[in-house]
Structure 1
Amino acid sequence: MFTSEMIASLNDLETDIYNYVITHEHEVIYMRIRELAEHTHVSTATILRFCKKVGCEGFSEFKTKLKLELKSRQSIVKSGEHAVIEFFERTLSSDQEAVLEEAVQMLASADNVLFVGIGSSGILAEYGARYFSSLGKFSMYIKDFSYPIHNRLQKNSVSIVLSVSGENSFTIKQMNRLKREGSKVISITNNKHCTTAKMSEVNLAYYMTEEYYEDANITTQIPVIYLLETLARKLNQHEQQATLEDNHE
């Protein structure tokens, strides 16, 4: 409701009103304009000027918008069971197996595997790098996007990029850098129509309904863990089979 531009435009008295409102939101929605003026030690005219600066015609409209804002934050955290079951049913009955196999073939021919992600996706990227390494494919997680990566590590590499929205500017910038140096990209995103997916050679999309609690994205990441572990296990099986075939020759 309050943008940074709005807050920057407030004078000292109006800033006092703003500070009072954000710390007493549930009380303010039931106040009359004179009551708010008394609590903030300003005139009703100052209250009205404040309302206009935050995009409202008057105090009534301001309270209505504030009520709607509070209501939108009253997120109910739902059980993720039905969503996860839906994901596995869709995965087992779809052509995703062919996409996984394509990704495995790409990973098998790579000398290096690099993981990219930020926020919760970064935590899972770090987990993915460790999981792949545990199954015999040494992998690295790039936590610092400015970290120098030697060209020879990128030439015959595959980057596994994790992003829920697929639109994170930092992630996209890192993808550009890696692709420019010759790395191929496998992305795991929530849908295949995002920028990250379109920039990738292979995309694994899991299509979960995005959920937010207040300002936090709490979309389940169980599909991402499943896809990472499935890729690592399939890759390990592929390389074991290749070793057996070499030994028989």
Structure 2
Amino acid sequence: MGDLIHRLQTRAFELTEAQRRIADYVVQHPMEVAFLTVDKLASTVGTSTATIMRFSAAVGYSGFSELQKELQANMKHKAAPQTRLEANLKDANKSELLQQHVELQLDNIQYSLDNIAEGTLQEIIKKIEASNNILCTSVRSGRPVGEYIAFGINRILGNCKYIDADKSEWVDESINLTSSDLIIAVSYPRYAERIANMLEVAKSCGAEIVLITDSYSSPITKYADFILPCSSASAASHNSIVSAIFIVDYILSALAINYPERTKPRLDKINEILTKMSYHTKR
């Protein structure tokens, strides 16, 4: 549904009043729309089947069935893990599972590339470099992404900390935030309330927020200044972090390359200390 929400956001001004009414119903009742016939949807919304078809075309689909396929896929990926696994088992081909996995992850990465403007990435990179303090937060399946970007930023800039939103210590950290600070949050379905709690406090303190999530329809997006949609679809039951790691890895690379006058001396000093400690195994 993230792609659909993005299309609605960018094309809303082109829709007629009747089409906007359909759009509102789709956003508010995605599970229902995913399995309604076009006739039933038209009757429910109080419009014609022709208007439903024109709406589908207006937001970039070949027809209502294509729009439904996206909704159905999205419902499968946002359901509870056991439900997702059950749904994916119906489509799985064990003899071709590796190839299916590769294709799915390539689609996930392409989704991010299609939905994140390069200008947005560059603005985020500048914001990270300019921030006084950076807090990265996540829970559960998003934790590897949150910890990875926090470690990477702190290693090259020295002003970043990871906080688990499931632990109450975030309250102590958040109350000192200012407009010069930045929060980078990772939130996947089924979206933890603790992430929303932390971002709400951070927002009230004036901090800016970068959100890595699965789609524009994520309920946490209302707190974000920057949204990085990274599909978490997997071939089984878990939220996949592949596309998010891809985007985060680019951000870390760009930080190091764009600001060598700041990052290189720090990395040199870290290496000097580790070498004196004989930290690394001698080959």
Q: How would you bin the TM-score normalised by the shorter chain?
A: 0.5 to 0.7
The letter for the 1-side match of 2:134 is V
Matched-pair contact (CA < 8 Å) for 2:177–2:206: no
- Cα distance in 1, alignment partners of residues 115 and 214 from structure 2: 16
2:185: which partner in 1?
161
1:226: which partner in 2?
246
Query: Offset at 1:112?
Result: 0.8
Q: 1:132 aligns with which of 123, 140, 153?
A: 153
- Cα distance in 2, alignment partners of residues 166 and 172 from structure 1: 12
TM-score by length of 2: 0.52
Q: 2:258 aligns with which of 217, 238, 249?
A: 238
TM-score by length of 1: 0.59
1:146: which partner in 2?
168
1:20: which partner in 2?
none
2:129: which partner in 1?
108
More helix by proportion, 1 or 2? 2
Name the count of aligned residue pairs.
171
Query: Offset at 1:212?
Result: 4.4
Q: 2:196 aligns with which of 151, 172, 184?
A: 172
* Compared CA separation, residues 92 and 121, structure 1 to 2 (3 A): closer
Stretch moving more, 176-185 or 80-89: 80-89
Percent identity for Structure 1 against Structure 2: 15
The letter for the 1-side match of 2:107 is E
Highest relative contact order (Cα 8 Å, sep 6+), 1 or 2? 2
1:203: which partner in 2?
227
* Compared CA separation, residues 124 and 165, structure 1 to 2 (3 A): same
| Secondary structure at 1:186 match in 2 | strand
Pairing of 1:1-249 with structure 2 (within 5 A): 72=86, 75=89, 76=92, 78-79=97-98, 80-91=101-112, 96-143=117-164, 145-147=167-169, 148-149=172-173, 151-165=175-189, 167-209=191-233, 212-213=236-237, 218-240=238-260
Query: Offset at 1:185?
Result: 0.3
| Secondary structure at 2:173 match in 1 | coil
The letter for the 2-side match of 1:146 is S
Deviations 1:172-202 (A, max 9, x none): 1111111112211000111012122232000
Query: Offset at 1:103?
Result: 0.9
Query: Offset at 1:219?
Result: 2.9
The letter for the 1-side match of 2:249 is E
The letter for the 1-side match of 2:239 is T
* Compared CA separation, residues 243 and 219, structure 1 to 2 (3 A): closer
Query: Offset at 1:135?
Result: 2.3
Q: Structure 2: state its 5+ residue gaps.
A: 1-82, 265-283
Q: Over the residues paired in the alignment, what is the CA RMSD in angstroms?
A: 3.0
Query: Offset at 1:146?
Result: 1.4
* Compared CA separation, residues 175 and 135, structure 1 to 2 (3 A): same
Deviations 1:77-112 (A, max 9, x none): 844210222234455566531221121122122111
| Secondary structure at 1:115 match in 2 | strand
Q: Structure 1: state its 5+ residue gaps.
A: 1-68, 245-249
Matched-pair contact (CA < 8 Å) for 1:166–1:197: no
Larger radius of gyration: 1
